[in-house]
Structure 1
Amino acid sequence: MDFSWKEARQLFPNELHDFVDECYSPARLAKITDADIEKFMKGKPERTADDVLKKLPIWLRDLYDVFLPKLADKLPPQRSWDHKIELLTGKEPPYQKTRPMNPQELKVIRKWLDDNLAKGFIRESRARCAAPLLLAAKPGGGVRICQDYRGLNNITIKNRYPLPLIRETLDALCNAKVYTKLDIIAAFNKIRIAEGDIWKTAFITRFGLFETLVMPFGLCNAPATFQNYINHTLFDLLDKFCTAYLDDILIYSTDKKQHREHVREVATRLRDAGLQIDIDKCEFETTRTKYLGLIVTPGGVEMDPDKVSTILNWEPPTALRDLQRFLGFANFYRRFIRDFSKITRPLNDLLKKSTIWSWEVEHQTAFDQLKAAFSVAPVLALYDYNRKTVLETDASDWASGGVLSQYDDEGVLRPVAYFSSKHSAQECNYEIYDKELLAIIKALEEWRPELQGTQEPFEVITDHKNLEYFTTTKALNQRQVRWSEFLSGFNFRIVYRPGTKAVRPDALSRKPEDQPKRADTNDDRIKNRQRTILPEHIFDPEALAELTREVNGEFDLAAAPIDVIMPAMDKPIDELVDRAYENSEMAQDMLTALRDASTHRRWPKKWRKELRVAMADCSVIGNRIYYREKLFIPPNDQELKTQVIYPSVFISRVYCLHGTPDNVISDRGSQFISEFWRQLSDRLGVRLRHSSAFHPETDGQTERINAGIEQYLRALMNFHQDDWVDWLPLAEFAANNVTSETTGVSPFFANYGFHPKLGTEPTKPLPPNQSAAQRREFLKANNIADRFERIITQLKALATQAARRYEENANLNREDAPQYAEGQEVYSTLKQMDES
C-alpha cells in the first residue's frame, strides 16, 4: 500500500521519522517506473492568473493572488519561526556516501537540483556531514525526492509541540452544513532553516554536496514547527469556523453566506503569512469532503472508501512487520468497528514478544473477519455538546462494552462511537455489581473529553438495577470509593433497563472470543472460577440435544434459556438424589449446579425451594466424597514433649466431629513414627502414610497449607508475634471458605451444605438519650464488629491470592511422569538402601 506524506501525517502523526524507514526501503525504491520518471521530467503545467480565476468562485476572485503557484517558488524571509535543529550533547550529524543510481534517476536528480538552485531553496555546501538522497514513486504517478535524514533525526532533540487530535477536530464539526478545504503548496518549504543550523541539512549527490535553506521533508521536528506556525497564523479562528492539521485546512459553517465570509478571512490570513494555496486540491462550498482520512458530511462521519478498498484488498501478512502495518492502519478506524478488540485479539496475541510467529487458521479467520467488518461499518454521528447524550454500558464475566449515542433532529438515537475492552485477570474476580460499575468507569474514561463538564445530565443506561442507587449508597468499599471520586466529575443519571433490551452494549461485552477457551489453561481469568454444569444424566434426550446445539464449551446455568432447563425437572428430584448416591462424580456436579440454581431468580419460587432441599441431600453425599476441611491445632510446649497430645487432639478435633479417617499422612516426626501411635492407629483402623526422606511431596499438601496459614497470621499478628494462637481460629475459618477449583465449592460448604454468613450488618445510629457508659459500650461493640469485618475481608483476599500463587508455582516446572512397561529394566538409587 502506498502512503503520501500527507496520509502518513494523518495516520501516523507521532511516527514520521519511522515512516521514512518504511516509505523508502529498497523494495519501495524499486517501484519507480519509466512513466513516473517521464511525468516528473515534464513537470507541472504552469498556471497563469487566468487559469486560477477560471477555477475560483466569483466571490473569491479578488484574492486570486494567494492561489498563484508561482509565488510559492519565492524564498521565504528569515523570521522568528525559522526551524532550529538542536542536537544531543556531544553528537555530530553523520557523513554518508551517495547511493548508486541509474542514468534515468540521475536525470531526475539533476532536474530537481536545477529547479531548487534557481528558486534559492538550496545552495552548495562545505559541511562535514552529508545525508543521501532517496527517490520514491508517488501514489498518483511521478517521483518524490527526499533527503534521508534518519541519522540526523536520531541525534536531534525532539520538539514535542502537539499535533491536533483528530477526535477533537471532528467534535468541532458537529453543527456544520457546508465545507471548504484548502491545501498549502509545499508548506514545509515556506519555513526557513535557522542560520546556524543550515550546515546540518547537507546532502550528498552525484553532482556535489548541497544544503537546504528551507525546511525540507524528512526532518523529525518539521511537522511540529509548521503546526506551530499555522496555529499562530489562524489562532483566533481555530475551532470557531476552521481547523488546521499541518497543511490541510478545513473551513466549516452553518450556512453559505456566513461560510463565504469565513473562507475569505482564512485566505487573507494565509496570504499575509506568505502561504500559497494549491487551487488543484481545493474544494469550495461542498457538503461532503475527505479530511484526515475520513469522509465528513452534515449527517456524520464515515470511512474513506479508498482506504476501505485498501483494507479489503490487503494480502494476509507473512511477517510480523506486515501485521503491524495492517493493524496500525486498521486501528485508525476502530471507532467505526463494533467489537474491534474482540476481532483483533488473535492478531494482537501474535505481536507479543513471547509469541513465535506462526500464521494459523484462527489468525486468518480474524484477518478475514476484520476486513468484512470494514465493509459494513456504519456512519457515525458527530458529537454535539448541545444534544441529549446517552451512554449505554454492559459487563459480562470477561469484558465490558459501551455505546455513546445522541438524539438527532428527528429524535432518533444515533451512535457516535463504540467501545469494548477485555477484563484483566483481577477484574474478572470482581463481583457482578463492581463489574457493571467498572463498565461505566471504563466508558467514561474513554469519552471523558466529551462527557466531562456537560451542563445537562446525560443518561447512563445499565441492565443492573442496583446501580441506580449507587450515588445514594453510603456503605462503599475502597474500590468503589475511588470510583466515586472519579464519577463526581461527571453530570449523569443512572437509568435501569432490563438486559433483554440492551442489545448494543450486550453485544460488545458478551463476546465469545473474549471468553477464555475451554482448553486455555493459561488464561488467568478462569482460575478460581466455579463450574456450573449440570451432568447429562439429569437431562432428558431432547433437552440434551438442544444444549449440544446451543452450547460450545462450558454450560452456564444462569444464562441458559428457561425452556432448556425445564425438561430436567420432569423427573422427581428424589430420584436424582438417589442416583447421585450411586455416582460420586454426578453428586459433585449436582451439588455445584443445584447450589447456583436454587438462588437464581429466573427459576419459579416453588422450584427454588425444592432445589434447596435437594441440595441439602446432595451435601451429605458431598461429605462422603470430598473432605478437605483444614484443622489448625496449636499444641503448647509441654504437650510437644509427650506423645499423648496427638491421640487426644485427634479424638477431640477429628474423630468426634468427622469419624475415623481412612488415612493419615504425615512427615517422619518422632511422634508420628512411635510404636504407641502405630498401635493406636491399627486399633482405630487408620492407615499411616509417611513421607520419605527424598520425596517430601508426599506430605506436600500439609506444607502448602502451613505456608498459607503463615501468610494469614503474618497479616494479623502484633509486632511481637506472640498472639498467633489467638488468630488461628479466624485463619482456619477463612481457609475453609475458599472455593476449590477441583470441587467448585469451599470445604465448609462441602461439609455442611451451606455457606456461612460473613461480614456484619451496617452500623446503626446511636439511640438517643444514652448514658455515657452506654455510649462507650456502643462504640466498643461497633469497633470490634468493624475490625472483625476488615479481618475477614483481608483473610479471604489472602486465601484467594495464595491459592492462585500455589497453583502457578506448582505448574511452573511440572513435567509428565515417565511411563514404564511391566518388566522394563530401570535404574534405582542405592543411596538410601541398607548396605547390610
Structure 2
Amino acid sequence: MGLPTLALTQAPASLRGFGGEAVLVLGQVQLMVAFGMEENRREKQILFDVVDIPYSYNAIFGCATLNKFEAVSHHNYLKLKMPSLTGMIVVKGAIHNVEAKPHDRARHTPKPTPHGKVIKVKVDDADPTRFVSLGGDMGEREAENILEVLKKNIDIFAWSPDEVGGVSTDLIMHHLAVKPEAKPSKQKLRKMSADRQEAAKAEVQKLLKAGVIQEIDHPEWLANPVLVRKLNGKWRMCVDFTDLNKVCPKDNFPLPRIDQLVDSTAGCELMSFLDAYSSYHQIHMNPADIPKTAFITPFSTFCHLRMPFDLRNAGATFTRLVYKVLYKQLGRNVEAYVHDIVVKSRKAFDHASDLQETFDNLRAAGVKLNPENAIKSQVLVDFVAEWTPAFSPEPEPVEQPWVMYSDGSWSHKGAGAAAVLTLPRGVPIWYAARLQFDTTNNTIEYEAVLLGLRKAKELGVRRLLIRTDSKLVASHVDKSFETKEEGMKRYLEAVRSMEKCFAGITVEHLPRGQNEEADTLAKSAACGGPHSPSIFFEVLYAPSVPTESLDIMAIDQAELGEDPEDWRTPFVKYLKNGWLPEDEAEAKRLQLRATKYKLVSSQLYRSRVLQPLLHCISFAEAEEMAKEIHQGLCGAHQAARTVASKVFCQGVYWPTVLKVCVEQAKKWGLDIIGPSPVARNGYKFAIMAIEYFSRCIEAEPLSAIISVAVQKFVWKNIVCRFGVPKEFIADNGKQFDSDKFREMCEGLNLEIRFASVAHPQSNGASKRSDGKILEALKKRLEGAAKGKRPDEMLSVLCALQTTPTRPTKFSPFMLLYGDEAMTPTELGANSPRVIFSGGEDGREVSLELLERVRVEALEHMRKYATSTSATYNKKVRPTELLPGHLVLRKKANPVAVGKLELKWEGPYLIKYRSRTGSFHLATLEGEEFNHSWNAASLKRFYV
C-alpha cells in the first residue's frame, strides 16, 4: 500500500493464532474502510494490526469491524450484507480470484539464477561438447587446480545413459520386501493421446538402450506409466507404483535434514555441488523383485532391471549407498542429501585434494556423476553463499535480554500472580493468573516468577532479566539468602530447573513503587477480573510444586522415572525436570499428553473430569490387576469393558486398560453349555432374589425346591440382613404359592405378587439375574468339575454386587452402603481411596451422600425405563380388553399341540385387571382362577 513505517503506532500486545502460537505485531495503523458504490456507500475508520506473515489475503476483518458496520455474513453464499441510509449493501465474494492467485504466482515465479558469474569449461580436448560449470569468482590458482583434477577424472562423469554401468550388486541392491500376504495387482492399460504415446515410446527406447528396463511376459504385477509435461514443454514419464508401494513396508533408514546440511557448511571457503547421473538407475534391482516392477504401454510390457524413481523406498536405498561409499568423508569434507553431494573445504587451496578423494571413492563404487547439472540446487547454493559466514575471531554481538516484571497479591477476595514480559524494543506482553489454592505471601511471589518463566520459555526467550519487588525471592535466586523452609526449597528448585531452559537469567530487586504495572495486574487477577482482551488470563488450581501435606505410599515403584522401559518414565521426567525427547514430533506429543497427568510426591496420577485422580501403575502390575478382577476372588469372567470400568472404579490407570482387559476376556471366550450335574451335598438347584432398586442379588444353592427351603432363604438372606421388604414378586411355582409361605409373609406383613402365567417378562429383573449367575458360573468352572458350583457362588455374587448396572449407572454395593466396595485388587494397587481413607469420618460422609446417590440412580432408572418402553412399544399392537369381555387363552404348552389341534382354549370371562396388561379370568360358570394372565396370552372372543 506504500505506507511509511513511521505511520505505525505501538501495539499493546502480540496476537495469538488458532494453534496458540504468538505472532509479533509490527504496529497498528488506522485506515479508511468503505463498502458499496457511490450512491449506496458506508465508510468508517478501522484500526488494523500489521503483521509480517505469508498469507493469501491482504487484510482480515474481525468481529469488531463487522459489528461496527452492523454486517451479517453467510458463508454458504459467500455474501456480506449491511444496512445503509439508502438501502442494503451486498458484498459478493470472488473466491475464484483468491484460488487463482497462488497458481498464477507459482506459474510466473522466475527460475533461480546463479549467484555470481558461472563459466563453462572444457574438460575433454578430444570432444569439445564436453564441459562442466565452474564459479567465475574463484581465484585463478584454485580454478587451475580444480580444472586439472576434473580433466584427470573425466571417467567419473557420464555423458549419455548408456555410459552408466550401475553399482556393483555386491555393494547394494534394492529389495522390495513385499508383504507375504499381499495379492498381486494388475492395472489395465490406460488410454493415451497421440503425443503422449510418442513421448512414452521415445522414453522406453532410451531406457532399453541404457539397459534400465527389459521386456517381460506374463507379469503378476502390472502398473501404468504416467506422463507429465515439464515447464520446458517436454514430457516426463513416471510409473504409477501405487499398488506396489502400499504392500511394501517403509524403509526407516534416516534421510538427512537439509537444515543440518546448511549449518555444516558454515565457515567453508569453497564448495562444489555434484549430482549423480540418473542416480536411482545406477542401483540394480534384486532379481526376485524385477517382475514386480513391470509396467504396461501400448507397445509392450516392460520391467525394471535397475531401481526406478517411483518406488517407495528408492530415496532411502540411494541414501544408504552414499553413506556406504562416502562414510569416511561425511561430516568432514562432504555432505550429501540423497543424490546431491556437496564437497566442502575450510580452505580454498585444499579443495582440489578434497575433490580427488571424493572422485576416488565414487569410482571405486561405480557411481557416475552428471557433468551438465541443471540448476536444481541453485537455491541451496545461493542460500549457503549468502548466509554462511567465514570463520573470524570477531566476537558475536551480545543478545539483548527480555525484561520480566513479576508480582503477587493476596487479599480476602483471593490470590493472584502477574508477569509482564517486555521485548528488547519495549513492547510489553501481560500475563495474569488467579490462584485457586492455599498460598502465602512468599509462595505467591514465587508463583508469579514461575508464571513468567513458563511464558518466556513458550515464547523462545533465551536471555531474561527478572525484576521483582520481593526481597526474599530475589535473594534466594541470586544465592544471597539461604533457603531454610521446605516449601521455599521446593519453589527454588522449580526455578532452578527452569533456568536450564534459558541461555542466561539475571534477577534484580526493585522497590514496589517501580513495579506498579505488575502490582496492579496481580491485584486485578486476585479479584477475578474483568480483564482487558490484551491480557492473557488463566486460573491455576494447583501449586507449581507439590505440597508437603501429601504423603503417598508407593507400590513397588520407589525408582519411578528411572526405568526407561516403564511407560510412566517420560511423563515423570517431563513433569519433574521439563525433559523432552530429541524428536520434535515426539516432544510435542508428550507435551500434549502430559496435560492430563500430575506428579504428587513423586507418584504419577492421571486427572479425570470432575472425578478423583487415578493412580498410574506399570504394565506388569496392570496384568496382575486385570487378571485378578477378571478371574480372581471377586471375578466372574465378565466382558472386557465391564472389567475396565471396575479398574477405573478402583482408582488406578494404565494406557492400555481396554486392551489388557480384552486379552483377559479372550482366554474365556469359548464355552459349552450342558446339563447341570448334582453337586456336593446334593445341590442341584439355586434360589435367587434381587432387590429391584439397587439390583442387589442374593443367591443360595439348594438340593430340592421345597417351601421350607424358600422360607429359610427369605428369612436368613433377606429379612435378617435388609429388613422386611414391601412386597415380594415370584413366579407361580408351588414352592412360593404354598400355604406355609403365605402364612410366613402374612405374619411379616409382606405382600406377595405373582407374575403372569406363561409370561416371565413380568418378573424380568429376576430372570435376567438368573442368566447372569449361570453365565458367570459357567465361565468360572471352565476346565473344572461342574460339582464345584456352590463353592463359586460367593465369588460370582461379589462380582455382580461390585459391577455398575445399566439402569442405575451404579453398582448395587454403592446404592446399599454409599461407597464402592474395597476389593483385594484395589488394596494391592494402593489406590488413592486406600491412601486417603478417612476411617469413621469418611464413612459418615459416604452415608450423608448416600441419599443423593440414590436420587441420581432413581433418575437414571426412569430414563432407562422410558427409553426401553419406547423401544418395546413400537412393536406392540394395542388390544382393547376390558372386564366383562370374553377371551380365548393360549394353551400352556402350544409346542406340544398337534398341527390340526386348536392352540387356544376357552372362552373365559375377564373378571378384573390386576395391573397394566394383566387380567384375572373366570370360567363361564363363575369359577375364578387364582393367577393372572398377560394380554399377550389372550385374544378377544366374539359370539
Query: Please, what TM-score do these two structures have when normalized by structure 2?
Result: 0.37
Query: Please, what TM-score do these two structures have when normalized by structure 1?
Result: 0.41
User: Normalized per residue, which structure has more strand?
Assistant: 2
User: Normalized per residue, which structure has more helix?
Assistant: 1
Q: Which has the larger radius of gyration?
A: 2
Higher relative contact order (CA 8 A, sep 6+): 1
